[in-house]
Amino acid sequence: MRSKVAILNIVKLNYITKLKLLKQNLTLQMDLCVMILVIL
């Protein structure tokens, strides 16, 4: 049971970090779009 909980925690951490990275990427892309629009 303990190993199962540990694995679940690791998966959860990976999921959270991936979500954070995705959010950062999205904000970066939005910033780039805004910059391009401003330049145009």
Q: Where are the domains of the chain?
A: 1-40
Q: What is the pLDDT of residue 39?
A: 84
Calculate mean pLDDT across residues 23-36.
91
Predicted confidence (pLDDT) per residue in 12-25, tens digit: 999 999 999 999 99
Q: Does pLDDT of 7 surpass 80?
A: yes
Confidence bin at 40 (pLDDT 50/70/90): confident
In a 13 Å sphere around the CA of 4, the CA atoms on its Cβ side amount to 1
The alpha helices in the chain, defined as continuous H runs, are: 2-39
Mapped onto helix, strand or coil, the DSSP state of residue 1 is: coil
pLDDT mean across residues, the chain: 91
